[in-house]
Chains A and B, each alone.
Chain A
Amino acid sequence: MIRIRLSHSKSGALRYTGNLDMQKVWERAFRRARLPLAYSQGFHPQPRINQACPLPLGFTSTAELLDVWLTDEVPLDQVKTAVETAIPDGLKIRAIETVDLHAPALQTQVDTADYVITLHQAVEPSELHEHISELMASPAVMRERRGKMYNLRPLIVAMRILEPASDSIKLFLTLTVREGATGRPEEVLLALGLDPFAATVERTQLRLKDLHPEPL
């Protein structure tokens, strides 16, 4: 048994495929690649594919992570070639490595994520800058989601306007993606008074918790 970690990007039509369906997309890709996919035990064996952190529908990403378990040793470059020929348009493998079989599950390890948001709406940069400063200075930003109030502020690690490269404004955002503490980019846009449907969001970085922190 080996465990392989795939860093990959997700774009194109696959933006509209949710996390649950991505599980099937990957399973079928590994089957097409004829890799010895490992299955869970039990009455309904499921392939052992583990995605790090759900990407909301419509977002693209250059920084997705997943772990997959194979029953036999297969050289990494061989896995990479096989997967590359079998994945649908919209997926691209960026890096591949083996991971210790007993390492904790990816979902428990993700810590923060970066997003670059391109705004397709009329915004005054100075005004936006002010909103951002205000929001970042607030001790709490209360928002309602699915009938529950929560504080968005601690989920925002960093936020700034990127140097304008073209006519549209881009926002850079770092949010926490820990279990039970996941910040959503569209919530931040709403908190800034922006229209979340007139924006494209790309996840550009996914950081894992430091497993071996320096002793204090």
Chain B
Amino acid sequence: MLNSQEIALRLERILPQVQKPGRYVGGEYNQISKDWQSVATRVALAFPDIYDIGLPNLGLAIFYEQLNARPDVLAERVYCPWIDMEAHLRAEQIPLFSLESQRPISDFDILAFTLPYETLYTNTLNLLDLAGIPLKSGQRSTNHPLVIAGGHACYNPEPMADFIDAFVIGEGEEVIEEIVNAYQAWKRTEQDRRALLLALATIPGVYVPIFYRPVFQADGTLERMETLDPAVPAIITKRMLAKLPPAPSKFLVPNIEVVHNRISVEIMRGCTRGCRFCHAGMINRPVRERSIEEIVDTLQTALDSTGFEEIALLSLSSSDYTCITDLVDAVTTRFAGKNLVVSLPSLRIESFSVDLMEKLKGSRQGGFTLAPEAATERMRTIINKPISTEQLLETAHAIYSRGWPTIKLYFMIGHPEETLEDVQAIADLCKAVLAEGRRTIGGRAQVNAGVSTFIPKPHTPFQWVSADSVEQIEAKQALLRRELRGPNLKLNWTDPRDTMLEAFLSRGDRRLGEVILGAWQRGAKYDAWQDQVRHDAWQAAAEDAGLAMDFYIHRTRFVDEVFPWDHINPAVKKSYLLEEYRNSQSGILRGDCRQQCYACGILPTFTGVRRLNRGDYWKCPEVPARKTTALAE
């Protein structure tokens, strides 16, 4: 294999011939380059899509800063090369390399993927292949890097179980250190690879698929997940941090344009709203907030060390941050006159949100975004996102009258029990908002409707439901296209085939490994890119593997069905999810669980942690001690 000097030499000739060569050379301000020989363990952090998307990823930024803070570890980065670069790498037989030292990825000890969504699976295989690492865990030897993965998609690790040595379930900040320590201990003993995997499998929150075997029933559903070694746990409970660690602040400053050129600070983690379709809302509990002081200090350090002109205050629901007004005031006064753009996504539909955005004095060019998700009372009750149409129109009026000419409305079609009337109501609501705009500011008013399609996700109350068929989706989209035309109305929708692929991968079991491999072998990669995704390859691969995609996508699950992800415990109980599913069917709404605990399972799972961290850092209300104990049993 080529060494880093030989790689550099060949790149010299290739780089002038590819698009955006700055993707492959690193050298960003705040890049950390450590001496390879000075550390015990080298970690390659991988985001399996192009640099432009991977560089701003906050998860990777956290681990980059954290791992490099250890004197005995270095962490470097790798992303997927774009199609043109991949062709050159393969033609010139250049192994995939890290940006910092241009070392082949196979020289690293640990290769850590972040997998926030399912359409990165074929890219993960492609990245392994370009690095010259055997694709399947079972084919790797002691000399190959340990391949680990974490991120939201890993809450159902089964589809990728053949390819990943160990999954991190839940928040990675603590467990990544434990994995590195276990790796170092293993290396000192010179044992075989299985010994390493077994050591990892005993770390809480780490799932090592090689020690688990799914047993299927004749009808194709799962009977149970068998453990193959007495040392490994039957259930893997997610990792969760009692308090959020210091936020990263020395962000890499790219030398070329990427998708988000900004400082990102997570102001809180988790959400208490309990929307029934929302994967992130279920798996990121409990809600933990950073203090205003901590956020503002982080921003100051980050601005000083990066010079970025934009900051994003991230959370699943900004309006729910306890002292959101104080936070916005603190940010605007501290950084006044610095020509900064501040973004505050995920605001509730109320005129108070308009007050907040006004304080941020941001550009009104991009429009104001609201996400009602559904347009009828009935649908809003089913998904547990109650907003009245009246309130939405009032908010729209406030937005238009205070200078935003454009409102972006996000909806989802395909929710359980949705009818064409519910979809018609989406069109009617968009028109009503536009009419409100016309009354308020005249012909300049604009509505952009983004209508995506609901995908039932594991670990949510809707994990039992069928996704809409392509015909249903097409009928609903046709209705919207027919209704939402004309001046100042814009409609965006998702290709139903993309939705089907994601639905297939989301609720898949271990048999999907063969399909993912087969699709990749047929040329599938960049599945999240509409101009790259190869649905024909996926169809052919599923057929070859003898799997019906519809079984995964369109089947309503049995209430007592054993799911392929049941051995992964997000600390929200399956019985709670089922209760919520039934509530959706009976038209029962549930409120913000900051006000009242609905016993999702977080508190009994983490009783010990909670006891050590009293106070209001977690936004779960105090539950009488007796009740908590009873739930735990």
Contact = CB atoms under 8 A, between A and B. Distances in A.
Interface of A: 12-18, 20-21, 24-25, 27-32, 34, 39, 43-45, 47, 57-58, 86, 88-90, 120, 196-198, 200
Given A28-B253, A44-B363, A13 B308 contact: no
Nearest to B253: A28
Contacts of B339: 39, 45, 47
B13 A17 contact: no
Interface stretch (B25-33, B283-291, B413-421): B25-33
A16 B309 contact: no
Contacts of B255: 13-14, 16-17, 21, 25, 88
B309 A31 contact: yes
Contact of B304 (A15, A29, A32): A32
B309 A27 contact: yes
A42 B434 CA distance: 29
Contact of A58 (B15, B256, B303, B363): B15
Contacts of B26: 13
B306 interface: yes
Contact of A88 (B16, B29, B304, B305): B29
Contact of B15 (A16, A29, A88, A120): A16
B25 A13 contact: yes
B521 interface: no
**A29, A30, A32: residue with the most chain B Cβ atoms closer than 10 Å:** A32
Contact of A32 (B12, B13, B31, B306): B306
B22 interface: yes
21 contacts: A13-B22, A13-B27, A14-B27, A15-B25, A16-B22, A16-B25, A18-B256, A24-B257, A28-B307, A28-B308, A29-B29, A31-B303, A31-B308, A31-B309, A32-B29, A39-B339, A57-B21, A88-B253, A90-B27, A197-B17, A198-B13
B305 A32 contact: yes
Contacts of B68: none
A58 B307 contact: no
Nearest to A186: B16
Which 7 pairs show the lowest CB-CB distances between chains A and B? Answer: A13-B27, A28-B307, A31-B307, A32-B307, A13-B25, A16-B21, A17-B255
**A12, A16, A18: residue with the most chain B Cβ atoms closer than 10 Å:** A16
B27 A197 contact: no
B261 interface: yes
Given A13-B22, A24-B257, A57-B21, 16 more contacts: A13-B255, A15-B25, A16-B15, A16-B21, A16-B25, A16-B255, A18-B256, A20-B257, A21-B257, A29-B307, A31-B308, A32-B307, A43-B363, A88-B253, A120-B13, A197-B16
Given A13-B22, A16-B25, A57-B21, A28 B306 contact: yes
A81 B261 CA distance: 26
Contact of B256 (A17, A30, A39): A17
Given A14-B255, A28-B306, A28-B309, A89 B27 contact: yes
B22 A17 contact: yes
B194 to A, nearest CB: 41
A24 B16 CA distance: 21
Contact of B16 (A17, A47, A57, A89): A57
A89 B17 CA distance: 23
Nearest to B304: A32
Interface residues of B, number: 28
A15 B255 CA distance: 10
B256 A21 contact: yes
A41 to B, nearest CB: 12
Nearest to B13: A197
A196 B305 CA distance: 38
A65 to B, nearest CB: 19
Contacts of A18: 22, 256
Contacts of A17: 22, 255-256
A57 to B, nearest CB: 7
B249 to A, nearest CB: 13
Interface in B3-21: 12-13, 15-17, 21
B567 to A, nearest CB: 45
Contacts of A25: 255
Interface string B450-463: 00000000000000
Nearest to A31: B307
A115 B621 CA distance: 70
B12 A200 contact: yes
A24 B261 CA distance: 10
Contacts of A47: 339
Contacts of B306: 28, 32
A123 B287 CA distance: 68
Contact of A30 (B12, B31, B307): B307
**B21, B26, B255, B309: residue with the most chain A Cβ atoms closer than 10 Å:** B255
Contacts of B363: 43-44
B15 A27 contact: no
A18 B255 CA distance: 9
Contacts of B17: 197
Nearest to A20: B257
**B27, B306, B307: residue with the most chain A Cβ atoms closer than 10 Å:** B307
Nearest to B303: A31
Nearest to A58: B16
A163 B554 CA distance: 74
A190 to B, nearest CB: 13
Nearest to A39: B339
Nearest to A47: B339
Interface string B295-310: 0000000011111110
A103 B308 CA distance: 30
A12 B27 CA distance: 8
Contacts of A16: 15, 21-22, 24-25, 255-256
Nearest to A37: B339
Interface string B305-323: 1111100000000000000
Interface string B225-268: 00000000000000000000000000001011100010000000
Contacts of A15: 25
Contacts of A28: 29, 253, 306-309
Given A21-B257, A27-B307, A28-B306, A88 B12 contact: no
Contacts of A31: 303, 307-309
B265 to A, nearest CB: 18
A20 B26 CA distance: 18
A88 B252 CA distance: 11
**A14, A15, A86: residue with the most chain B Cβ atoms closer than 10 Å:** A15
Contacts of A89: 27, 31
A89 B29 CA distance: 7
Contact of B27 (A21, A24, A45, A88): A88
A82 to B, nearest CB: 12
A3 B34 CA distance: 38
Nearest to A14: B255
A86 B307 contact: yes
B49 to A, nearest CB: 20
Nearest to B23: A16
Nearest to B256: A21
A62 B309 CA distance: 28
A129 B21 CA distance: 33
A18 B257 CA distance: 10
A148 to B, nearest CB: 22
Contacts of A12: 27
Contacts of B257: 20-21, 24
